[in-house]
Amino acid sequence: MGRKAKRDLTIEQQLAGGPIDLPFLALVMLLTAIGLIMVLSASYASAMYNLDASVNTGGDPLYYFKRQFGFAVLGVAAMFVISKIDYQHFRWMSVFVLGASIVLMALVVFTPLGRAGGGVKRWINLFGIRFQPSEIAKVGIIMFFAAGLSKRSGQVGLPRKWSKRTFTGRMAARLDRVGLLELVPYGLILMVVLGIIALQKHMSCMILVVVAAASVLFASGVALSWFALGGAAVGVALWFIITKTDYMAARIQIWQDPLSDLRNGGYQPWQGRIAIGSGGLMGVGLGNSQQKHLFLPEEHNDYIFAIVCEELGMIGAIVIIALFALLIIRGFWLALHARDRFGTLLIVGVTSLTGMQVFFNIGVVTGFLPPTGISLPFFSYGGTALAIQLAEMGMVLSVSRQIAAPKAE
């Protein structure tokens, strides 16, 4: 494109026309490719024997892989399309994304449109596609918080001018001084989202939504005292849930000693540890896992990392963890070099969400953390989840375009 043609472009078009970040893109594509290979390896036995009563695989050993591959193609296409959008448009889109996710989650909980699975009601079927609206809610929270908090010119909680002649004005000034008024709208929205997710009994999603919101709030400059107060509140809530509910108390007991209930809840974590131990240093070889043959439940979903450890060994597992670490580090690097505050907050939210999902999943599979039901990004089976994860990566790439974009003349 010549210099005159460049001048004819608007500033917005010039900014959005830069190259995407190739290291970040390469890491995303590499993790997606490895994840597809592992889904193929981990799922073919389960698909062939049609173990899941809620899914009719027809005995096709490639059933799960073909569906995951199709959604991967769709997700990669969405990632490139989204990466071409000027990320400033995500500001106004955030209201619609978050609003749509809340409406869809409400439909799941309060209407017959909701679909159950595994004893819980978290899915909805629209246009023949079954998905969890809570996956969209994670992205919506990040986009909405980033759009709102990026408008602040300084630290969140920066006092505004209030009339000191009235009691209301003086009280508002005090509340504004400590940053409470700034946080109230975000807190209310977060409570609405968490409340609907709680009705779905989806504790793992609640954790991730809180992580996503907290990461954006932290990057926007919220005072650490608010995090201390929020952390204390979350700690009290977790203590109450763990000690006062039989369900969570049983999970903690199983986490501490899987052999205490090996016939029920302890079976999966114990078989997962057997798979990890069987892999040793070098692994038994890709495709040669024994645990995926009717022993380890959810071998292609939440516990796919155990199959990774068994087939690729400790070395292979470390390589995959290193790839995730590089992706997260690169994401934060892009956040630090974003052209504006909104781009920074958007990338911080997406990167933090991805990083915490990896941490929680691997922590649960290895026995470091109690069971949470959080899947491994790019690896665990789940077509809509994979497509949404790749769409999130597209938002990061959209911001990256403007880091090296040509400056307006």
- What confidence score (pLDDT) does residue 119 get? 65
The distance from CA 89 to its chain's CA centroid, rounded to whole angstroms, is 21
Cβ atoms of 114 and 108 within 8 Å: the answer is yes
Structure tokens of 281? 């240093």
- What confidence score (pLDDT) does residue 336 get? 93
Answer yes or no: is pLDDT of 4 > 60: no
Domain boundaries, the chain: 16-401
d(CA 82, CA 166): 49
Place of tokens 């050993």: 61
**What tens digit of pLDDT does each residue of 82-126 get?**
999 999 999 999 999 999 999 999 998 888 887 776 667 788 887
- What confidence score (pLDDT) does residue 396 get? 96
The distance from CA 387 to its chain's CA centroid, rounded to whole angstroms, is 12
Identify the band that residue 157 occupies on the pLDDT scale cut at 50, 70 and 90.
very low
Answer yes or no: is pLDDT of 175 > 70: no
pTM: 0.86
* Least-confidence region, from 38-42, 129-133, 135-139, 236-240: 236-240
Cβ atoms of 83 and 397 within 8 Å: the answer is yes
Answer yes or no: is pLDDT of 170 > 70: no
